[in-house]
């Protein structure tokens, strides 16, 4: 894993498979962030085809979410599809979303945190002041993972023996970053500095590494009833790449990219299968080792450091909200 030649070989030779037709999701409720387009939408469609009772699409633009809802209902009219506003640039929006989950859902079995951006130029979020790839892909994902643990745990407690699932969408590109910010006094503060922004996809790659480090630490402090894993969907022809103007990228993607539907297969596989795994990295629908850095003592040190920094940042952003209480009850 991790080399470009191997990556291209796997893209050409592996075909993502949908869930077996024998699997039914009756009575379950799922949340998919970024569910209005691309992989998130395809994952929601696939779960609906398997009889899931309710899907909440967490979307930044509600009108686009309603269009996605129409697509899902057209093929699966018995699925209750809800479109809820969710902006991962806004701490208040994410908190409001989680409050709605607590107040309006009687159960929650599956969460797929799919929303993300890939920006090749330094852009600072006007809402939070953090670099955009880090804000949306790591900070927003980390906050939602904490805010939704309570409802996931409550559902698991009400259904002994049935574990609930939190799946974070990461990427093989986490192998492909030097992650120089790991040596800074504060990783997240360094990543907010324009001078830290590398060339090409390096910052996006770094944000996907942060996903891996975060989910591994989160899974290590959870009880057994909520399964947290990460999934590499592979290179897919989705809207994630809309701002990538790298010369030749369109031709490269045409040759090597899977379809969004195939990427959705990978997300659903990770969220439904692998029920005995915890804190793992799933790629090509099997558990694989993450990068050697992640598994190294230096990686473990960065993992703990990132966790502490992220918790501090989130507690400052949402004063008065006890983000760690779900962990204490597991």
Domain positions in the chain: 4-15+22-317
The pairing of strands 286-288 and 281-283 is antiparallel
pLDDT in tens, 27-70: 999 999 999 999 999 999 999 999 999 999 999 999 999 999 99
CATH architecture group of domain 4-15+22-317: 3-Layer(aba) Sandwich (3.40)
pLDDT at 1: 66
Q: Report the pLDDT value the prediction gives residue 299, as an integer from 0 to 100.
A: 98
Nearest to 290 by CA among 205, 148, 198, 172: 172
- Residue-wise pLDDT for 83-108, tens only, equals 999 999 999 999 999 999 999 999 99
Distance CA 154, CA 71 (A): 31
Q: What is the mean pLDDT of the chain?
A: 95
pTM to 2 decimal places: 0.97
User: Who's near 103: CB < 8 A, 6+ residues apart?
Assistant: none
Catalytic residue set: 171, 204, 208
Q: How confident is the model at residue 239 (pLDDT cuts 50, 70, 90)?
A: confident
Q: What is the pLDDT of residues 267-317, one digit of tens each?
A: 999 999 999 999 999 999 999 999 999 999 999 999 999 999 999 999 999
Mean pLDDT over 113-122 rounds to: 96
pLDDT digits 0-9 by tens, 201-214: 999 999 999 999 99
């Amino acid at each position: 894993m991790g080399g470009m030649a191997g990556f291209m070989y796997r893209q050409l030779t592996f075909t993502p498979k949908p869930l077996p037709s024998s699997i039914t999701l009756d009575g379950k409720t799922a949340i998919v962030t970024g569910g209005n387009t691309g992989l998130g939408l395809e994952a929601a469609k696939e779960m609906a085809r398997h009889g899931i009772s309710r899907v909440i699409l967490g979307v930044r633009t509600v009108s686009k979410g309603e269009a996605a809802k129409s697509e899902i209902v057209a093929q699966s009219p018995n699925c209750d599809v809800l479109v809820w506003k969710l902006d991962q640039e806004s701490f208040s929006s994410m908190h409001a979303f989680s409050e709605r989950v607590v107040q309006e859902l009687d159960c929650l079995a599956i969460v797929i945190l799919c929303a993300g951006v890939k920006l090749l130029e330094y852009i600072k979020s006007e809402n939070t002041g953090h670099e955009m790839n880090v804000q949306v892909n790591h900070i927003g994902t980390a906050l939602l993972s904490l805010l939704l643990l309570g409802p996931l745990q409550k559902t698991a407690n009400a259904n002994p023996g049935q574990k609930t699932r939190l799946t974070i969408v990461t990427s093989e590109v986490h192998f492909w970053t030097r992650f120089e910010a790991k040596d800074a006094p504060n990783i997240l503060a360094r990543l907010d500095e324009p001078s830290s922004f590398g060339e090409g996809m390096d910052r996006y790659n770094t944000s996907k590494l942060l996903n891996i480090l975060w989910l591994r630490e989160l899974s290590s402090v959870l009880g057994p009833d909520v399964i947290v894993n990460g999934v590499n969907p592979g290179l897919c022809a989705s809207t994630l790449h809309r701002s990538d103007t790298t010369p030749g990228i369109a031709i490269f993607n045409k040759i090597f990219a899977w379809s969004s539907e195939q990427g959705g297969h990978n997300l659903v596989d990770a969220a439904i299968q692998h029920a005995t795994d915890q804190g793992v990295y799933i790629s090509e629908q099997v558990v694989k080792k993450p990068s050697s850095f992640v598994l190294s003592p230096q990686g473990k040190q960065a993992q703990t450091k990132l966790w502490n920094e992220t918790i501090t940042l989130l507690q400052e952003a949402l004063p008065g909200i006890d983000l760690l209480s779900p962990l204490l009850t597991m």
